[in-house]
A and B are shown apart, each in its own frame.
Chain A
């Protein structure tokens, strides 16, 4: 097991910067997700860590060893990094059986034949696939292939496990079980794991820490709770969970901060290092806005008109208008319509510059 460190890593493809100045420290045995929309640079980062690609600049260290340094040209190729990589397609070698797939990494590590057989058995039972040892990859379902791909990777005890959207080819229903299973497996081996995903619920449920990326940059790095409760910018606020983003002007009077939207004012959490009078964006999550019963009171109380609603099952999502800007809120009541009174606390309103 090893820790992992990226320092000012950039990757340019011609004039296009796929990754800009990324620094990230991952502790030994930690499960870290790289979360972001497609094109944010998370897969590029994974490729750089794996050694399938070389950084334009910056340094990557695994277990204290420099494996790539774009500044002096140091580059340890993938096969010498002792990492485990599970790709989205699983990349099981189609011309080999399950046994062949799992024992090949051992074979090239000169593990004796008898021991190879034992290890194949052991790891197959670990991923609960013992009955499939003589199958070919095309005879397995997506979820089964994923298990074999993991077994094939874990069997040679890599120092860091790299997972590139490994759950995206698994049926939606099985995915939740696969998450729990994968997390348990990772804890069992206590292997440092980098998990690339665009699915925020995957990232939140599985990770020790989440690295949110956007347009080639790391925008926030913290525990799932931190990232959800204290988003660092409007992008994170909206991408992790979901947020209403309301534009307005910041006013600070005494200890209180307010957002002015048209003729309304909203009390917000007092931001640090943002001056009053400038344009700002406020983020508030739809689930934090409540429909108020008569007599209820909150920091912010708004009378708004429901324009549309989405039935989500246990709850409904309502669309309304706030000074010309769209605002959404959730409620367990499924039949609201017309004018309603809603309220939310100032602590749930984060303000960002711009």
Chain B
């Protein structure tokens, strides 16, 4: 080693690397990240827990601890019935999405079916659209007075379906959740080692045997994970119970809470909080059951010896049958409801009795664009998506760095706690965050501002953004930052100059995903919006529930258009890949 060059570095910089007291700065950053994340994650839960065992609303004085709320809850037969309904609903919906999602993933991931790109693109579309919009589309097309229902009735006298039943609602919910199963299975299929199937073929197994004995068992973890996620999301579903369940008098979990917390003049906060705690507990049990079910992940994960081309199964002429089945599914269950919604937006009244041509109008859009509260909802949502999304990406990126690339003593704890929001349904989280602003006086100013919604959405979607970040950071070779440290860079410099730049693609796709979720969310804001801080989702929910379907469809159409433009833009301009 040439010592003179070493000396010259010292002369130029005035210090040799390694002498600077870097660790104080390092720990300070890590603690800051930890505190912010803990606050975001715990803020919605802790007040709820307190409220559940308090005898009166938290903002009142002289609160006494009590178990009365839980006792009242358990005596309430309506509650028990709603729990049962929700469970049946979630089970049927999950089964539906499990079957459809897995079949589609196998057809697209492992066979020679034609037009895979188009079908795959359509399969994941529902993930970008809020359940509220899909649900409303379904009611416009397949509801009792829906376009297709009426057409069918005119032709055959009766229809064999009824959306206002548990099975009907479950199918709609299942359709909404199919993309989750599909994406989990497709990822599993793409990352699984194709030589496992080669070995089976060479050992004498026919393609169908290989499929049942090797391919499907290896999909088990993906199926379990996506099913639990779907179960949780369906237990927390708000739009379907409100849009279909209430008119049909089928009460479900979230409609039970909604009814007692929003649509009455004096909400029973204790009871609502107790019910919410019950649901959170149920979800925690479900999520931890996943750990038990998948306790030996090595039994399913294999690493390929070398890169091999995944082989596709030849379906012969069946490949056209497969394509037709998937296209039919997509057309009837995904595209048609959305088309119905958009058509409704452009018409004054939608029925097969009057030709569409005669009812076409732009009145709905005129109304929407001339009503300040609707326009404000739109601009607020865009600002929250753009600014709040960036804020959330910054937090999850730093969280990923602290958990996976630091010596921070509580990093394991942070890793686990960051998944907690997944267990707290959006609407319930909203109640919790509302409490925080009430109890913590200095945060009071946040109420009636869109900052509160940004914070709420960030908290709500930390697991989503963090999941994408964690996957990306694990793939970055640790030797890269080790060599950063070896040349004398501090932890923070290494993170800033080496790790974070390598995470830029992951940050961009996280940003896109978070923007879309912030933009479509309609449940978290229910308790938090105030005059001036309305958001698109919540406004749409109010409009649909109060029967303003025309203007609501117009607003939803605008939402769809903005989402589509955003996705296209991110894909074309930034080259961001959204879900494969």
Contact = CB atoms under 8 A, between A and B. Distances in A.
A104 interface: yes
B220 A95 contact: yes
B205 A79 contact: yes
B201 A109 contact: no
B195 A89 contact: yes
Interface stretch (A29-37, A80-88, A124-132): A80-88
Interface in A77-123: 77-85, 87-91, 93-95, 104-105, 108-109
Contacts of B199: 85, 87, 91, 93, 149
Interface in A162-213: 162, 165, 168-169
Contact of A82 (B204, B207, B300): B204
A138 B203 contact: no
Contacts of A51: 201-202
A88 B298 CA distance: 19
B439 interface: no
B386 to A, nearest CB: 44
Contacts of B207: 79
Interface residues of A, number: 35
A109 B193 contact: no
Nearest to B302: A94
Given A52-B311, A95-B218, A105 B203 contact: yes
A84 B300 contact: no
A91 B204 contact: no
A80 B300 CA distance: 27
Interface in A40-98: 50-52, 77-85, 87-91, 93-95
B305 interface: yes
Contacts of A89: 193, 195, 302-306
B299 interface: yes
A52 to B, nearest CB: 5
Nearest to A152: B203
Interface stretch (B56-64, B209-217, B475-483): B209-217
A109 B203 CA distance: 10
Contacts of B196: 91, 93-94
A136 interface: yes
Contacts of A105: 203-205
A52 B198 contact: yes
A153 interface: yes
Interface residues of B, number: 30
A156 B301 contact: no
B206 interface: yes
A78 B199 CA distance: 9
Contacts of A109: 204
> Would you call the interface of chain A mostly helix, strand, loop, or mixed?
loop
Question: Among B193, B204, B296, which residue has the most Cβ atoms of chain A within 10 A?
Answer: B204
Given A52-B198, A104-B213, A95 B300 contact: yes
Contacts of A52: 198, 201-202, 311
B200 interface: yes
Interface string A303-343: 00000000000000000000000000000000000000000
Specify which of A80, A91, A108 lies most central, judged by the most chain B CB atoms within 10 Å of its CB.
A91
Interface string B265-304: 0000000000000000000000000000000101111111
B206 A136 contact: no
Contacts of B306: 88-89
B189 to A, nearest CB: 15
Contacts of A83: 202
A85 to B, nearest CB: 4
Interface in A135-149: 136-138, 149
A156 to B, nearest CB: 7
A149 B203 CA distance: 11
Contacts of B303: 89
A266 B206 CA distance: 62
Contacts of A152: 203
B377 to A, nearest CB: 50
Nearest to B306: A88
Contacts of B296: 136
A93 B201 CA distance: 12
A156 B204 contact: yes
Contacts of A162: 202
Contacts of A77: 201
Contact of B305 (A50, A79, A87, A156): A87
A51 B311 CA distance: 12
Contacts of A79: 201-207
A137 B195 CA distance: 15
Interface in A244-272: none
Contacts of B302: 89, 91, 94, 137
Contact of B301 (A90, A94, A165): A94
Contacts of B205: 79, 104-105, 108
Given A87-B198, A95-B218, A136 B298 contact: yes
A201 B200 CA distance: 30
Nearest to B196: A91
B432 to A, nearest CB: 41
Contact of B200 (A93, A95, A138): A93
15 contacts: A81-B202, A83-B202, A84-B203, A87-B198, A87-B199, A89-B302, A89-B304, A91-B195, A91-B196, A94-B218, A94-B301, A94-B302, A95-B217, A95-B218, A168-B305
Interface of A: 50-52, 77-85, 87-91, 93-95, 104-105, 108-109, 136-138, 149, 152-153, 156, 162, 165, 168-169
Interface of B: 193, 195-196, 198-207, 209, 213-214, 217-218, 220, 296, 298-306, 311
Give 8 nearest A-B pairs by CB, closest first.
Answer: A89-B305, A85-B202, A138-B298, A91-B199, A88-B305, A78-B201, A105-B203, A91-B195
Given A79-B207, A88-B305, A138-B298, 11 more contacts: A50-B198, A50-B202, A87-B199, A89-B193, A91-B302, A93-B217, A94-B218, A94-B302, A108-B204, A109-B204, A152-B203
